[in-house]
Amino acid sequence: MTTTADERSANGFGLADEPFAVDVVSSDLAYAGHVWDVRADTFDYNGRHVKRQYVDHTGAVAVVALDDAGRVLLIQQYRHPIREREWELPAGLLDVPGESLIDSARRELAEEADIEASTWEPLISMHTSPGGSDEIVHVFLAGDLRPTADPHEREAEEADIRVAWMPLADAIAAVMRGQMRNGILIAGLLAAAEKLRHAPRTSR
């Protein structure tokens, strides 16, 4: 059985997403939204003009916050497009000019769960729906947790956020049973589990 060059590369972990520049013929604001906009682009691809509309997104951060017992912090809030109160990671938009990614993550963890963390590390970055949005979400792993000094005032869908702590393995099991379906939550939990699996063991 022969193997192609692409198969050999994949087996050696050589595949990676690639930037690709196209000639954008036009780019128009199709809709100015309250949170994000929709753009309509025409671009040249393989000698043809292609038209696509997509959500022009600010980007976002999310936090996998793990306590000393190996429990992950989950929040539940209402999401109108799917008509569900779904379980998620603390997360939010990159909508503060000049704010770093990690400071945005710190802010969202405090605003949504009244929690602070002393240790932070990048976990993964992910495109949530690249066929229809340019959104990229940067997920951080946070540890050494403690409550904030002042609880945050919340409104709209955040006014009745429910907070829960769940063993990481149990949260992943719930995902696999179809009980929790938020994409950023799923990716963050699995990435955290994989990172912990490769973490050096320390004796106590």
> Where in the sequence numbering do the catalytic residues fall?
158
Please, what is the Cα angle at 157 between 97 and 109, to 5 degrees?
Answer: 50
Query: Angle 183-198/168-176 helices, nearest 10 degrees?
Result: 130
Cβ atoms of residues 123 and 92 within 8 Å: no
116 CA to centre of own chain: 19
